[in-house]
Amino acid sequence: MDCKIDIIPRVLHFKQPAGTSRGTYTTRKVWYLHFTAPEFPNWVGIGECAPLPNLSCDDLPDYEEVLAKICRQVENQGGKLDMEALCKYPSILFGLETAIRHFFEGSWALWDTPFSRGEAGIPINGLIWMGDFNRMLAQIEKKMEAGFRCIKLKIGAINFEEELALLQHIRSHYSFKEIELRVDANGAFSPTDAMEKLKRLSELDLHSIEQPIRAGQWEEMARLTSESPLPIALDEELIGYNTWEEKQRLLSAIRPQYIIIKPSLHGGLAGGEEWIAEAEKLNIGWGGSKGVLAILIPGMFGGAGTVFFLRSYFDSAISNEILEAAKIDGSNDFKIFLVMILPLAKPAIIAQFLFGFVGGYNNYAAALMYLYRDKSMWSLQLALSELVKIGSQSEGGYVNMQCAASIMALLPLVALYVGVQKYFIEGITIGGGKE
C-alpha cells in the first residue's frame, strides 16, 4: 500500500508546573504523525511521539532525524512495522502503532471495548504534582472536591515529614474505603532509608508505591519487594528492557507486586502486551489487578461433593409423603422449597458451610500461589507460615509469638464449631444413611 507519514512538531505548555523528584516540567515537546494513503483520500491516522527528557531510552539528541528516517522506512514498507527493529524506540513505535491503527479503524475507538462504545468509563486517579506543602494541599483538596476516589501523590522532593502530613490530612477526612491513595517516589529514596519510609507509609493504608529507589539497583529492589509492608510497583525500572528475554530476566529477579505500563516508555503497544504476559506468568499485578479472584472463583464451582452430600441428606430426612401432602394442600414448588425443605435442610446446609469454611480458611497452597507477592492480601495461613520462617531463623524469642498466633488462628474455628455443633452433628448423622 502506498502511504505517506507527515511529521508535525509541537511544544505543549503545562497549565501548572509538573514537579517530580527528577525536576519540574513546564513544557513538553511532541511530534504528531499523520498517516495517509492516496487510495483512501478521506482516511487519516494520527499518532503521537512524546519521549520524556532524560528518561526515555529513545530521548536522543537527533530524535527528529531518527523519527524522519524511520517514517520513510515505514513508507517504503507499505505501512508495515518492523517490531524487532523498532522496539528500542518505544515512543516512535507507539506513535506509529496508534497512527496506523487509527487509519484502518477509521475511528478513535481503536478497540471494541465498553469504554469505546460509551457503555462504561475508565476510573482514573487524581494526580498531585510535587510542590511546596500549601500548593500540594490545595491540589489535594481540589481533586477530592472534584469527586476523585483515587489520589496519586508525587513524593520525594520536599521534606518527608511534610509529605506524611499531606497523606495524613487525606486519611483524617477519608478512610481507605472512600479514597484509594497511591504514591510515586520516582526513585527518590535511598536504599539505606527506603525500608523505614515504606514502613511509615504503610501505616496510612496506601495502595502501593511506585519506584521507591532509583532504577538499576536490582538486588536492593528485590529485597524491598520481598520485605516491604507496602506493595511496590515498578515504573522507571522497566525502561530500556525491550526484548522478551530482558523483560523475563528483570521481573524474575525483582518480582514486584505491580508494574506500571506506559507504552511510549515501555515498548509501545506490542511491548506492553509482552510485559503483561510475562507479569501474569509470575502473578504480578498490572494496572492494579488483584489476584484474590483466583481463589474465590474456583471455590464457587467446586461443589460436587456438596451436591452428593445434600442429596443423601434429602433422601434420608425429607420424605416424599410430606411433599405430596403439601401439594395436596395447594402449595407450589417454590413455597414447598422455601417453607418446608429449607428449614428441614438447615443441619445439612450448616454442616456443608462448616466444611467449606474450614477448607477455605486452611487453604495454604492457593494463597501461596496467587497472593504471595502482595502482602496486603495475605491470608492468615501465609502470615503464620512467614512468622514460623522468621522464628526458625532466630535464636529464640519467636516461640511464644508463634504459639500465640497459632492459638489465635484456631479460635475462629473453635468458636464457629461451638455455635453450630448441634446442627453439624445432626446433619452428619442423618445424612449418613437411609432407613
In a domain, 117, yes or no: no
Structural domains counted in the chain: 3
Last residue of a domain, one of 290, 315, 337: 290
| Same domain? 329 vs 193 | no
Q: In this predicted model, what pLDDT tens digit does every residue of 310-366 receive, in sequence order? A: 777 677 767 777 778 878 877 888 888 787 777 877 777 777 777 777 777 777 666
Provide the residue range defining the domain that includes 8.
Answer: 4-105
Task: Say whether 154 is catalytic.
Answer: yes
| Same domain? 255 vs 334 | no
Res. 178 pLDDT band, cuts 50 70 90: confident
Greatest alpha-carbon pair distance for the chain in Å reads 90
CA distance 2 to 43: 13
| Half-sphere exposure at residue 21, Cβ-oriented, CA atoms within 13 angstroms | 23
Partners of 188 in the beta sheet? 213
In a domain, 119, yes or no: no
Checking if the pLDDT of 290 tops 50, the result is no
Q: In this predicted model, what pLDDT tens digit does every residue of 1-40 receive, in sequence order? A: 899 999 999 999 988 777 776 677 889 899 999 999 999 9
Task: Say whether 262 is catalytic.
Answer: yes
> Which phi-psi region, left, alpha or beta, contains residue 30 (left: φ > 0; alpha: ψ -120 to 50)?
beta
**Whether pTM exceeds 0.75:** no
Q: Which of 143, 154, 197, 375 is catalytic?
A: 154
| Same domain? 282 vs 310 | no
Q: In this predicted model, what pLDDT tens digit does every residue of 107-152 receive, in sequence order? A: 888 888 888 888 888 878 888 887 777 887 888 888 888 888 888 8
In a domain, 435, yes or no: no
How far lies 75's CA from each of 16, 70, 78, 105, 304, in Å? 38, 9, 5, 19, 60
In a domain, 113, yes or no: no
Q: In this predicted model, what pLDDT tens digit does every residue of 391-407 receive, in sequence order? A: 655 555 556 766 777 78
In a domain, 64, yes or no: yes
CA distance 188 to 211: 8
Res. 289 pLDDT band, cuts 50 70 90: very low
